Amino acid sequence: MLLRKITFAIGIVGMSLSLMVTSVEASQDEAIIINKRTNQLAFYEKSTLQKVFPVATGRTKNLTPEGKFTLVNKVKNRPWYTGNIPGGDARNPLGARWLGIKVPGDWGHVSGNVYGVHGTNNPSSIGTYASNGCIRMYNKDIIWLFDRADMNIPVYITSSSSSFAALAQKYGVGKAKKVVAGYETFNVTLKYGSKGEAVKILQRKLNITADGSFGPQTLSAVKKFQKSKGLVADGIVGAKTRAALFNK
């Protein structure tokens, strides 16, 4: 009888350890990566880059902290206590959802009440450096993310010229290889002569060869797209053309 009890206890411990390992492994396949340099947020789930969103970050470099943090709370329609504005109010600068992250200096270091990823009542600020330190998103985007991001997943904040694929590989997030088509975006102005990953994203959106070089073919495709949307066909991919490209 004693042997049976010992065997049973060992089995329970083994199962617990197994569940713990599974939970830790699963968490590595889901993460949020925020790049202040491009003002973009990437969400990884099941080892796959699901979506990339435009965001707003701190007005100055040091306002939005950098490093590895943890998502520790999720709140729908959080009140803005500083301005005494209730949640759900159109004046509330925190928008529709709040994802609080654990950052040193936060109350008790665990609350997630000081720094977070949240919506906004000022959508024109997205893509700029405008906040007091938090990461702002369009309300429809934060609602999408809120519904999918699990508690306690890692949140990486950096300022880097590297792609999200390279950053994910650096941080060990999932397989960091497969990308779900259609969810790439960029927040820089592109024109004839531009080069780089943003040009490739533009070219993929226009269904032309993605060589990363804004040449004659890309110029022609951009002007054609601008005409189709009733925009000035100047071949420059600025804010209005980006909005039309990504339906913002």
Q: Which residues are catalytic?
A: 118, 134
CA-closest candidate to residue 101, choices 72, 133, 134: 72
Q: What whole-number distance in Å separates Cα of residue 225 and Cα of residue 87?
A: 40
Chain centroid offset of residue 200 CA: 20
**Integer CA distances (angstroms), 149 to 64, 141, 143, 183, 199, in order:** 20, 12, 10, 17, 29
Q: Which helix (H) or strand (E) holds 8?
A: helix 2-27
Chain centroid offset of residue 248 CA: 16
SS3 48: strand
